[in-house]
Amino acid sequence: MPNSAVASPNELYDVLSSFDGALLSREERAHALDRFFALRSGREKPGRFWRVDLDSIAPDPGTVDATSASLQIDSHDSRVLVCDLATAARDHPQLLARAFATTGVDATKFGALARAFAGLGAFIYLRADVDCNDPITIAYAPPPGSAIFAHTIVLAEHGARATIVERIGGGEGAFFCGVSEVVTEERAQLLYAVVQHAGAGGRVISSRAMRPGRDAEVAWASAELGGDLAASDLSIAIEHPGARAEVTALFFPRAAEHVDVVSTVEHRAGEATSETLIKSAATDSGQARFLGNIRIAAHAQGSDARLRDDALLLSRNAHVDSVPALEIGANDVKAYHGATVGAIDEEQVFYVESRGIDRNAAERMIALGFFEPAIERFPTESLRSEIRRTLAEKLS
């Protein structure tokens, strides 16, 4: 099976030379790869339930795809600069430098791996006060059996408004390792949605970081719907007061799929709010783990942080671990977390059945409804319908 064994480090270092020296030097790439090998994922080790060891994952050097054939950019707004990463490095290096490699996303193991092989990706630049109605879509589709490393870099100036949709598809057995970095100035409003439909045997590992400006409103909305393994880091670091941050994730492993989501909201400035909502279900032997970090620094008075995660277990062998982790250093804050894990409530099923709806349809309706508060946070009705349809297929 390609990509599954721990690769010989030397061969991976050899592959670095085929990547663009204008974006990152060979030395910078080698340093990033050093960090990848040195860092631990911090994820759970295989044990009684968990079957995947993220620390043992490395791409097969022979499958690394340095071309940009798997990227598609869809933007209809001429006021917005959207281009591939190589073009941005060549034509707009100063703009790119305001966001690229500024969020610390490469401090994680897989963020470092993506950095080492940076080349494929998109740069989105939103000028001050530009207001985009149509979502900007960035789609990644690695060919079967290949490994790609994607960077989506967003710079939003003050007052800019936009919605970005990242789609991850891909052929059978593909390996996707991606990074998003989103930097906004004051009052920007940015919703970044991710819809992941990787193919069978696919592995998708993404690390995403946002830095909102003062009074900015930013949101992650992530739907991990495909692949055999999906590991996602969603983080927002609030360093300016007045920011409003939202993190939404939904996932539904079935068969032998694994999902591992870590959300982190850092309140490093006060008078800011964050709201994290995680909805997951698991069936067959599907497994998921969610770790929800909320950190409020000692000086971040007036912070308001909420974290809610609910997991639905639809079979005896399904397993979901949910771990909220709140570190609160300030005393004048509001912090809330609530979590539930359980099966579908039989009283709900009976109520729906009593209205003439058969048991399977009743369970499907209740499970889809369970996801709905998270689905509603995704942009556009067509995207929401797509998510509902995919979940309904997994339920049938």
Partner 1 sequence: MSEGLRIHDLRCSVDGGEILKGIDLTIEPGRVHALMGPNGSGKSTLAFSLTGHPKYEVTGSVLLDGEDLLALAPDKRARAGLFLSFQYPAAIPGVKVANFLHAARQAERPGDLPPAKFRALLLEKMDQLGIDPSFMGRYLNDGFSGGEKKRLEMLQLAVLAPKYAILDETDSGLDIDALKDVGDSIAALRASDEGRNTGFLIITHYPRILQYVIPDVVHVMIGGRIVKTGGHDLAHRIEREGYDVLREEAGAVA
> Shortest Cβ distance from residue 374 to partner 1 (Å)?
9
CA–CA gap between residue 374 and residue 379 (Å, rounded) = 11
> Can you tell me which of 293, 361, 379, 390 binds partner 1, judged by CB under 8 A?
361
> Shortest Cβ distance from residue 351 to partner 1 (Å)?
4
3-state SS, residue 93: helix
> Can you tell me which of 66, 348, 384, 390 binds partner 1, judged by CB under 8 A?
348
Question: CA angle at residue 129 from 124 to 133, to 5 degrees?
Answer: 65
Q: Which stretch binds partner 1 (CB under 8 A): 20-28, 134-142, 156-164, 341-349?
A: 341-349
- Rounded (10°) angle between helices 359-375 and 346-353: 120
> Shortest Cβ distance from residue 279 to partner 1 (Å)?
9
Which residue lies nearer to partner 1 by CB, 329 or 369? 369
> Shortest Cβ distance from residue 322 to partner 1 (Å)?
18
Q: Which stretch binds partner 1 (CB under 8 A): 44-52, 75-83, 252-260, 352-360?
A: 352-360
47 binds partner 1 per the rule CB under 8 A: no
Binding residue count for partner 1, defined by CB under 8 A: 24
396 binds partner 1 per the rule CB under 8 A: no
CA–CA gap between residue 369 and residue 295 (Å, rounded) = 30
Contacts of partner 1 in 362-381 (CB under 8 A): 362, 365-366, 368-373
CA-based R_g, the chain, Å: 21
Q: Which of 332, 283, 328 is nearest to 307 (CA)?
A: 328
CA–CA gap between residue 191 and residue 378 (Å, rounded) = 8
CB atoms within 10 A of CB 80: 18
CA–CA gap between residue 33 and residue 91 (Å, rounded) = 27
Which residue lies nearer to partner 1 by CB, 211 or 364? 364
Q: How far is the CA of 136 from the CAs of 132, 314, 379, in angstroms? A: 9, 35, 11
354 binds partner 1 per the rule CB under 8 A: yes
**Intra-chain end-to-end CA distance of the chain, in Å:** 29
74 binds partner 1 per the rule CB under 8 A: no
> Can you tell me which of 54, 57, 352, 391 binds partner 1, judged by CB under 8 A?
352
Which residue lies nearer to partner 1 by CB, 332 or 381? 381
3-state SS, residue 299: coil
> Shortest Cβ distance from residue 252 to partner 1 (Å)?
14
Question: Which residue, chain included where needed, has tokens 């970044």?
Answer: 192
44 binds partner 1 per the rule CB under 8 A: no
Which residue lies nearer to partner 1 by CB, 336 or 351? 351
277 binds partner 1 per the rule CB under 8 A: no
CA–CA gap between residue 332 and residue 323 (Å, rounded) = 24
CA–CA gap between residue 300 and residue 305 (Å, rounded) = 11
347 binds partner 1 per the rule CB under 8 A: yes
336 binds partner 1 per the rule CB under 8 A: no
3-state SS, residue 269: coil
> Shortest Cβ distance from residue 346 to partner 1 (Å)?
7
CA–CA gap between residue 261 and residue 270 (Å, rounded) = 26
Which residue lies nearer to partner 1 by CB, 87 or 348? 348
> Can you tell me which of 299, 323, 345, 385 binds partner 1, judged by CB under 8 A?
345
> Shortest Cβ distance from residue 311 to partner 1 (Å)?
14
> Can you tell me which of 94, 298, 355, 381 binds partner 1, judged by CB under 8 A?
355
The amino acid present at 364, given as its one-letter code, is: R
Which residue lies nearer to partner 1 by CB, 139 or 368? 368
Q: What is the chain's percent helix, strand, coil content, to nearest 5?
A: 25, 40, 40
Q: Look at phi and psi of residue 97 and say left if phi exceeds 0, alpha if psi is from -120 to 50, else beta.
A: alpha
Which residue lies nearer to partner 1 by CB, 73 or 357? 357
Interface residues with partner 1 (CB under 8 A)?
Answer: 345-348, 350-359, 361-362, 365-366, 368-373
